[in-house]
Chains A and B, each alone.
Chain A
């Protein structure tokens, strides 16, 4: 399997994950090229996704999580461009591939579910027509086959196939989001990239949708990259967690481990910002301040201005990722444990 991966991986990429990863993101950087200068929205992000794995990406608004997703899916539009690194999906580097070559991989092997289904479904064509054009773009032309598969995936997410004839505006928010997920299942891809698929829904619809996604994932075995700002969703549904701050990886590790022993002060702050249903009453603290402007990021640790455990050295030194018991963390508190990894 590793021979498929082409060039050897950079040494600082998160090691310890199976070489059978279907997706390897290495040192990925994304720049927004503006008239006033270049803004690096994603900087040197590396992580792997194994087949069937559920990876969560969390962070505040504007931390670059959606940009990272679109960079992985090669869906960036100007002024955003990938300025470095690679995205190796099933052994092929997607960065720099032409649209024609990407088209073969898209939807069949990797599909995308977007933040707001209201805007992500074409308002002027029916749900069925939007299923159909995806299938026809990938060589499925038989009418019966298209009708059969469309009905099948819609049933999978619990929607009556009658709604193939419906237009997006005729469906409720939850149904639209479900039909988007159904559309993403058309070819049973190996990786589904989800950008806050539940954030437009109320809590009840959110939960039932998440359970549905999890069930589908266990049944069909696809891997998921799931972006959200909702820590409670991440806790229950993901296997691994990537905490992003100001365009960088702050912490990356197994979800349970990260929740039990959050290493990065930012991760700990995120946890404290959510109430726990059980246990003693604890005042919610949150994180004072707001993320830095990426056009002019702090010289040292980007979290330093808001960090409760900040040291003088944090403000001046760029901080690498350290490995602590299999968890990657970008914090000087763990600098001395670097050697063991």
Chain B
């Protein structure tokens, strides 16, 4: 318990540092968005409009910096992230982000978890039956698939299953002629749209988990406690899971947490290739259109997500590995 509280404390401090940097960096740089806007549209916007623009962008440079900072912190925490400038002009950034969030969490989040579970499972079994049929086929196969760029694989799948065979839809999150609702037609349609991008992500990321887990397992299988478990006459599956896998998975937890954290960043290329309007797609739009408030909000969101993921992985490690629970 003390360990968890300590980790949460650490999390809060890190988050505060990240927020503060996010506040300080733009203000340390010369210029501001209002000046950029005027410079970009020289002649269209009169220089005299600077004040008005600054007010509109919420750039109150003349206020006391401490007050600005406090206002910024309050705004961040209460979800007042400003207004989207170009992507969805006029809409609040919070609204835009919340609209895209569920799609990314649903697509990238679910596939990340699925890839970890399946990859770890396959890794466990192939190491346990080292040299067996499963071990001879799957790991090498996935090594090959892992090095194929996933946007390329996505394009190939689109060409085959979308364009040629017409089996599956390959753009958008759902058919926009449908009214979103909690009914089977809509849910089925959403799932249909998620199959191609989801599958692409799954098979390009699963290989890493298979390989690392298999290697960890093989190292752990040589440990004395595994031999000891055999000497005790334990059933094979217990030796495999409780003694070997339980120890072999520990180094992979942090990696998994990190990849969960980056879910919020979306799989930018996948979302772009499939026109899947999640956070990754949104981030690309924001960057392409110089939509500063949206960019800032998304970067901050990624930071927070990674921090939360690390916190969760610390807690999971503490639950699974008693050695980390010490006073330190």
Q: Which listed segment binds A: B9-17, B58-66, B101-109, B235-243?
A: B235-243
A107 to B232, CA, bound (A): 5
Q: Closest B-chain residue to A109, C-beta based?
A: B233
Those 10 A-B pairs whose CB atoms lie nearest each other, nearest first: A106-B233, A103-B233, A119-B224, A112-B231, A120-B224, A167-B322, A134-B232, A122-B225, A137-B234, A120-B228
Tell whether, in the assembled complex, residue B236 and residue A99 are in contact, meaning their CB atoms are under 8 Å apart: yes
Distance (whole angstroms) from the CB of A133 to the closest CB of chain B: 6
Mark A215-255 against chain B: 1 for CB-CB distance below 8 A, else 0: 00000000000000000000000000000000000000000
Chain B neighbourhood of A75, CB < 8 A: 227, 230-231
Contacts of B236 in A (CB 8 A): 99
Chain B positions within 8 Å of A, measured between CB atoms, are 221-225, 227-236, 238, 242-243, 246-247, 250, 320-323
The A/B interface has a contact count, at CB < 8 Å, of 83
Q: Could you list 11 examples of A-B contacts with CB < 8 Å?
A: A70-B227, A103-B234, A105-B233, A106-B233, A112-B228, A114-B227, A122-B243, A123-B323, A124-B322, A137-B235, A169-B323
Pair B247/A123 contact, Cβ less than 8 Å: yes
Residues in A whose Cβ lies below 8 Å from that of B228: 112, 114, 120-122
Asked whether A104 is an interface residue with its Cβ less than 8 Å from the other chain, the reply is: yes
Report the separation of the CA atoms of residues A164 and B234 in the bound assembly, to the nearest whole angstrom: 19
Rounded to whole Å, the gap between the CB of A79 and the closest CB of chain B is: 12
- Kindly identify which residue among B229, B232, B238, B246 contacts A124, using a CB–CB cutoff of 8 Å: B246
Residue in contact with A123 in the complex, picked from B221, B225, B233, CB distance below 8 Å: B225
> A121-B228, A122-B243 in contact; A167/B234 too (CB < 8 A)?
no
CB closest residue in chain A, given B321: A124
> What residues on A are CB-neighbors of B230 within 8 Å?
75, 99, 106
A6 to B291, CA, bound (A): 86
Q: How far is the CA of A270 from the CA of B81 in the complex (A)?
A: 80
Known: A104-B233, A124-B320, A125-B246. 7 other contacts (CB 8 A): A106-B232, A122-B225, A123-B321, A124-B246, A133-B234, A134-B233, A137-B232
- Taken together as a complex, chains A and B put the C-alpha atoms of A124 and B322 apart, in Å, by 6
Do B242 and A122 have beta carbons less than 8 Å apart?
yes
Measured CB to CB, the closest approach of chain A to B260, in angstroms, equals 22
Tell me if A83 counts as interface (CB < 8 A to partner B). no
Per the bound structure, the CA–CA distance linking A121 and B227 in Å amounts to: 10
B207 CB to nearest chain A CB (Å):
26
Contacting pair A137 B322 (CB below 8 A): no
Set of chain B residues within 8 Å of A106, measured between Cβ atoms: 230-233
Determine the chain A residues whose CB is within 8 A of the CB of B247 once the complex forms.
Answer: 122-124
Task: Knowing A75-B231, A99-B236, say if A169 contacts B225 (CB, 8 Å).
Answer: no
For A122, the closest partner residue in chain B by CB is B225
Q: Taking CB as reference atom, which chain B residue is nearest A120?
A: B224
Residue A102 at the chain B interface, CB threshold 8 Å:
yes
Bound Cα distance A125, B227 (Å): 16
Is A116 positioned at the interface, with any CB of B under 8 Å from its CB?
yes
A214 within 8 A of B: no
Closest to A193 in B: B231
A308 to B222, CA, bound (A): 40
Contact of B224 among A73, A115, A138 (CB under 8 A): A115
Residue A108 interfacial (CB < 8 Å):
yes
- Indicate if A77 sits at the interface (CB-CB under 8 A): yes
Partner pick for A137 among B227, B238, B321, CB 8 A cutoff:
B238
A76 to B, closest residue via Cβ: B227
Q: Give A134 to B229 CA distance when docked, in angstroms.
A: 8
